[in-house]
Amino acid sequence: MNTRLDIIKKELNHNIQAVYKFKETKKEVIEFYTNNESKLNLVKKETFDNYSFLTELLEKCETKQKQSFSKKILNKVVKLERHRYAPNMNKTHLSNNETIKTPECTNINQAVAHIIKTLSINQLEKLTLK
């Protein structure tokens, strides 16, 4: 009989070349579930069967790829335009003459985190290439 850990390994048995740091992240996810196997066995069968471990893995890969843009964007920040009475109008100005709305962000690190969270990977690539 397959254990739940075997089912997870089988679901993640893909080798997707085009996804950023797929192999590394796959090892981390399998290691996490291996270390928490006792908790994994406490999850209801229906919940376990409906959960997509591959989706979790791909989302983690996307997060890692977005985080890799952090330093590149931080180096391109020229200034943070802050509005005292209307913080929803705050903007970040980049060295390539781009201006990005970063509402409620009061420092550059918050602004960069907001940019990474809200833009897609394609938009981030275009932003860092300019």
Averaged pLDDT for residues 66-81? 90
Q: In whole numbers, what is the pLDDT of the chain averaged over residues?
A: 89
Averaged pLDDT for residues 35-45? 91
pLDDT of residue 88: 93
Task: Evaluate if residue 86 carries a pLDDT over 90.
Answer: yes
% of the chain residues with pLDDT over 70: 96
Instruction: Answer for the pair 130, 96: CB distance below 8 angstroms, yes or no.
Output: yes
Instruction: Answer for the pair 10, 24: CB distance below 8 angstroms, yes or no.
Output: no
Which residues sit opposite 79 in a β-bridge? 93
Task: Evaluate if residue 4 carries a pLDDT over 90.
Answer: no
Averaged pLDDT for residues 113-127? 89
pLDDT of residue 90: 94
Task: Evaluate if residue 130 carries a pLDDT over 70.
Answer: no
pLDDT of residue 8: 85
pTM of the full structure? 0.71
